[in-house]
Amino acid sequence: MRLALLLLTALLSAEDAVDWNDRGVQLRRQGDYAAAIAAFQKAIAQRPQDARIVSNLALACKSVGQPDQAIIHMRKAAALAPQDGRIRRNLGIFLLRSGRVEEAEASLHKALELAPQDPENHQELARLLAAAQRFGESAEEYRIALRLSPDLGALHYELGRVYEAMANEEGAAQEYATAVRVAPGEPNYLEAEGALLSRTGHPEQAEATLRRVLEMRPDCGEAHRDLGLVLRKHGRTDDAVRELRRASELLPQDPSIQIVLGQMLEKTGRSAESGQMLSAAKSKARSLENIQLSKAYNNEGTELLEKRQFAEAEQKLKEAIQLNPDDPVALYNYGLALLFQGRLEPSIEALQHSVRTRRDDPDAYYYLGRALLEKTDYTGAREALERATGLNPDDAHAHNALGVVLAALHEMAGAKAAFERSAELEGTTELFRRNLRCLSAGCTLVP
């Protein structure tokens, strides 16, 4: 009788979990991400080892703007289903968007190892390689993807972009033409073809193509921009200014449009408007250049951190922050470089700035807690480490450090629970078991 009741309870729980998961999927598709997250969490409470549900929670977290939480959950899903290529691919995508390029590439290679015939795996790796300006490798991945899925317009279009970056205009033209042929209703592909026609000296064809794009999608800022540039070359100033004004409205973050428009306005005698526009555009262009340069310095600093060259990493990361003071990744890495050199005060300052900028990064809270613990600010350390374990309940090291802090605050029951949780998560790590023993024996605890 008791066995029958247990089986019935398990069956009902499974059905409830499936229902909550299905409800979460529907809510996510409707754009109600907060409600979707709540539904997935209820499903996971009943089926915590279901990789599909954990993966869905990760996707919802990403949609709601919680990239670090998304990575945590997708990592867990990958651990629960190590042979699932789609989960590995999504983890790679999330890591890439968070700037963790090397980890992303490793995850995408693992996805390819698991599913070498999946064109999406090759496409995502090709995108990563293109972003890293490894265009030859990227083009090869796109060609493999196209052999697997020759009629996918997005692959032809993206390969065309890579060919343009490689100055292979003929190859780019062929790919854009194929993309338009296999997906004639997609204006982005037609716009790329029109822009290339303009750059390769075919203004009449370019104008006709770009006007077709605007018939299909009147709010295509790129098409207005490129058409404006074609008309400018033809000396049709008023028409060009009109198109570039519309492009500037649709693409306000592209300072190159405002620079060209400002130059044209100056030539037509509208100096006051031109001066204001050019000043704002040049300032925006410098800001964008600073962000790109900051990312390059951050990448160099990260590599130096991994090589344990902390002083050199500090210098590169300091330069990154000077160019982009609110970059949470650079601030986090800078804080680590300082912490590993024993410079607690500036490390704490950088890590506090990082968590103010990106509040869902458990690693930043963990190292902030470690720095505050070193400073013997136990109250601050506790707050940071409780936040870290709340964001990532499966981080054994964060639970262990929290246990050390709680012991310092003479909260022995909480410390014992934290050490037990660490040992439960990573039973093979001797440090966690040792701290649990030392709590009773009175020996030194190690965070």
Residue 13 has a pLDDT of: 47
Q: Is this model's pTM higher than 0.85 or not?
A: no
Q: Is 445 helix (H, G, I), strand (E, B) or coil?
A: coil
Residuewise pLDDT in 10s, the chain (447 residues): 444 433 334 434 446 888 899 888 888 888 888 888 999 999 999 999 999 999 999 999 999 888 889 999 999 999 999 999 999 999 999 999 888 888 999 999 999 999 999 999 999 999 999 998 999 999 999 999 999 999 999 999 999 999 999 999 999 999 999 999 999 989 999 999 999 999 999 999 999 999 999 999 999 999 999 999 999 988 899 999 999 999 999 999 889 988 988 888 888 878 888 888 888 888 888 888 898 899 889 989 988 988 999 999 999 999 999 999 999 999 999 999 999 999 999 999 999 999 999 888 899 999 999 999 999 999 999 999 999 999 988 899 999 999 999 999 999 999 999 999 998 988 788 888 898 888 888 888 888
Please answer whether residues 121 and 89 qualify as being in contact, where contact means their C-beta atoms are separated by less than 8 angstroms.
Answer: yes
| Cα–Cα distance for residue pair 166/144, rounded to 1 Å | 18
- Comparing CA positions, the residue from 23, 21, 30 lying closest to residue 51 is 21
- The pLDDT value recorded for residue 269 is 79
Neighbours of 245 (CB within 10 A): 16
Q: What is the pLDDT of residue 83?
A: 95
pLDDT at 1: 45
- Which of these, 166, 167, 163, lies nearest to 177 by C-alpha position? 163
Q: Which domains does the chain have, with CATH numbers?
A: 360-447 (1.25.40.10)
Give the separation between CA 447 and CA 385, rounded to whole angstroms.
11
pLDDT at position 15 is: 61
Instruction: Report the alpha-carbon distance of residue 264 to residue 221 in Å, rounded.
Output: 18
Q: How many residues does the chain have?
A: 447
